[in-house]
Amino acid sequence: MIGISTHVLDTAKGRPAPGVRVMLEHLVDDGNWIAVGEGLTDDSGRVAQLLGSRNVLNGGFYRLIFFVAEYFKDQDYFYPQVAVDFLVRDPSTHYHVPLLLSPYGYTTYRGS
């Protein structure tokens, strides 16, 4: 399977973060970012495929934007959104980019 997926875990609560809007952007040759996919995390905090029905992955730079302000709306928080830039070197494989989230910090890594 090719594509880009994510998983958002709320480390402060020790559970998945449902309902987080995630946008996928691709850096094009003119230096601008264009939106190529979007999703909402499910009850398990996952978006299984951000490429949507297009399901075409090209090499290059991508950005995931996690709009977390809405998720944290009933509590104090510091980051209204989290942007994670990454490089797709091999478009024939799958890229999984998890986000470990708390109201005052976050961590990300390349998952499997």
Contacts of 105 (CB under 8 A, 6+ apart): 78, 79
CATH number of the 3-108 domain: 2.60.40.180
Contacts of 106 (CB under 8 A, 6+ apart): 79, 82, 99, 100
Instruction: Quick: pLDDT tens for 3-27.
Output: 999 999 999 999 999 999 999 999 9
Overall pTM surpassing 0.75 (yes/no): yes
Q: What is the pLDDT of residue 71?
A: 97
3-class DSSP assignment, residue 71? coil
Instruction: Quick: pLDDT tens for 36-76.
Output: 999 999 999 999 999 977 678 999 999 999 999 999 999 99
C-beta separation of 59 from 88 below 8 A: yes
